[in-house]
Structure formats: C-alpha cells, structure tokens
Amino acid sequence: MAVVNSVVLPIRTQEDIVRVRQAAREAAVGQGFSLVDQTKLVTAASELARNTLDYGGGGDVEIARLSEPPRRGVRLVFTDKGPGIADVEQALTDGFTSGGGLGLGLSGAKRLSNDFSIISKVGEGTQVMIARWR
Amino acid sequence: MEKIPILKMGRFLLVTVQVDMHDQLALQLQDDLTARIVAARARGVLIDISSLEVVDSFIGRMISNIAAMAKVLDAETVVVGIQPAVAITLVELGLSLEGVRTALDVDRGMTLLHERLADEQR
C-alpha cells in the first residue's frame, strides 16, 4: 500500500470541522469516489472530527490518499491528547454517550468506513483510523 | 455574524440552508427559528436542505430538535430536498430523523403544510 499524498489539518475550532469535511471531500473526489462513497467518508470524517474536538480537547487529522492497485482509497487518522476512553467497547455501542450527543459518532463512523481501528490510553489520548476504498 | 435567513410566506416559515454549517450556526438557527415561530405565529416550517451535501449526527439532531420544538409551539415541520446520497448515509449512520416529516421538494412540502392547515379548519 502506497501513500500518494497526505495532509495534516488541526482540529481546534468548529470551523476546523468544516475544513476537515472539505478536505476529506477533496481527497475522495481526487480518488474518483462515487457520490455516495464521498458522502459516507465525509460524514464519518465530520463525526470523528467533532469527537476529537469535543471529547479529545482538540487534536489533528492526517488525510492520506492511498494506492493499492487496482483499488484506491482515503485514510483518515484522528489524533488527540485528551483524557482517552476507558471502555472502548462501550464507546462503540450505538446510543452510548458521555456527552450530550446521540452516541452515534464513533459507531456510525465505523459503519460508514471499510477499515476502522481505535487506540486509546486513559490519560494519554485517542487515535482513530478509518479508511474507505473504491 | 453569519446567519441562515428565515423567510415568512403567509403562515409558514421557509428556511433554505445553503452553506456547510458549523455547529454554532446550526444552534443559532434552532434558536432563531423557535423565536420566529412565536413572533410570526407561524403554523408551519419548511426546511430546504437540498444544498446540504452532508448531514451528520449533529445536524440530524438539530433537525429533530427543531421539529420537536416547533410541535410544542403548534407548528408543523417539513424537511425537503434530502439528497439521495445523504439519505443513504443517514440510514447507515443510524439516524432515522424520527418525528420529522419529509417531502421530496419545496412544492410537495408546501402542499403538505397547506393540507394540514386545511384539515384543521374543516
């Protein structure tokens, strides 16, 4: 698997979430994703960017265009140095929320992606990776 | 500060969301709309989201909230123009927009609102 190119964007404000959506859209379009696949990736990006801001206290995202002939993909890695998630299984349950949200962010982003992984250490932070392929 | 315009058409309010909303803007719209429903004695709210390319759980919750608040204020909410790709994504995300009436376009949404008002006056 080769990384064609990648950018890192900060996630510190609500406007940054909009910018992450736009950059994810750009990468998906660049990789020739269908409109539905673009929308799924951008929606997942929006959920995870908001998690990074609201629960992680801010962080950044690396958006990478991947090439693994014959398929092409986009990978997003969200990293924060927030409080971490004590129970990842629970956090991945539909409807579970520690904030005021609907509890669909993490589980929904997972459903909208082809690849998903999460690493979290209490007191150190959280890293969530998603990828979508065409 | 940027704001989403709310138009009054007879007894209905019309909102066309044309920008990629950040969260604060969405919350602002929620507040503005509830205030306008009362001030204008509106009986219906039509929200056109045909320009929205993404509806995530935050925007989805805002739409549900607006519909619930409007209902308490005796106004019906109809959301129109959801793009097919957005509809597919919403369902996969797990968002059902419960309690929100939808229509394919502004025309059909307006018809729905008029019918409801006519039913009441019968």
Range of the domain at A53: 2-133
Chain A residue numbers with beta carbons less than 8 Å from the beta carbon of B100 are: none
Among candidates B117, B118, B72, B121, which has minimal Cα distance to B99?
Answer: B72
Binding-site residues on chain B for chain A (CB distance < 8 A): 20-24, 53-58, 60-61, 83-86, 88-89, 92-95
Q: Is B43:B75 a contact under the CB 8 Å cutoff?
A: yes
Whether chain B has a CB inside 8 Å of the CB on A17: the answer is yes
Q: Using one digit for the tens of pLDDT, what is the confidence trace for A74-111? A: 999 999 999 999 889 888 888 877 766 667 789 999 99
Chain A residue numbers with beta carbons less than 8 Å from the beta carbon of B85 are: 35-36, 38-39
- Give the gap in angstroms from C-alpha A21 to the nearest C-alpha of chain B: 9
Give the pLDDT band (50/70/90) at residue B121: confident
At residue A99, the pLDDT reads 67
| Cβ distance of B53 and A108 shorter than 8 Å | no
Residue-range domains of chain B with CATH:
6-121 (3.30.750.24)
Domain harbouring A66, CATH code: 3.30.565.10
Q: Using one digit for the tens of pLDDT, what is the confidence trace for A3-19? A: 989 999 999 999 999 99
At residue A44, the pLDDT reads 97
At residue A82, the pLDDT reads 95
Q: What's the average model confidence in pLDDT over A121-133?
A: 97
| Ordered alpha helix ranges (H), B7-122 | 23-39, 57-72, 84-93, 106-121
Q: Look-up: residue for tokens 């673009």?
A: A38
Q: How many CB atoms sit inside 10 A of residue A94's CB?
A: 12
Full 3-state SS string of chain A: CEEEEEEEEEECCHHHHHHHHHHHHHHHHHCCCCHHHHHHHHHHHHHHHHHHHHCCCCEEEEEEEEEECCEEEEEEEEEECCCCCCCHHHHCCCCCCCCCCCCCHHHHHHHCCCEEEEEEECCCEEEEEEEEEC
Q: Is B57:B93 a contact under the CB 8 Å cutoff?
A: yes
Q: Return the residue of A nearest to B20 by Cα.
A: A18
Q: Using one digit for the tens of pLDDT, what is the confidence trace for A24-76? A: 999 999 999 999 999 999 999 999 999 999 999 999 999 999 999 999 999 99
* Predicted model pTM: 0.93
- Give the gap in angstroms from C-alpha A41 to the nearest C-alpha of chain B: 9
Three-state DSSP state, B78: strand
The tokens of B84 are what? Answer: 């097919």
At residue B96, the pLDDT reads 84
Give the pLDDT band (50/70/90) at residue B120: confident
- Whether B34 shows a pLDDT value over 70: the answer reads yes
Residues in a beta bridge with B101: B78
C-alpha triplet B64, B65, B69: angle, nearest 5°: 120
At residue B20, the pLDDT reads 86
Give the strand pairing for A125-133 and A115-121: antiparallel
Q: What's the average model confidence in pLDDT over A111-124?
A: 96
- Tell me the C-alpha distance between A69 and A13, whole Å: 37
- Tell me the C-alpha distance between A24 and A18, whole Å: 10
- Whether B18 shows a pLDDT value over 70: the answer reads yes
At residue B1, the pLDDT reads 62
Chain B residue numbers with beta carbons less than 8 Å from the beta carbon of A48 are: none
Hey, CA dihedral for B26, A131, B93, A97, is it positive or negative? negative
Burial class (CB in 10 A: 0-12, 13-18, 19+), A109: buried
Three-state DSSP state, B121: helix
| Cβ distance of B93 and A15 shorter than 8 Å | no
| Cβ distance of B22 and A104 shorter than 8 Å | no
- When divided into structural domains, chain A yields a total of 1
| Cβ distance of A25 and B88 shorter than 8 Å | no
Q: Which amino acid is at B29?
A: L
ipTM of the complex: 0.90
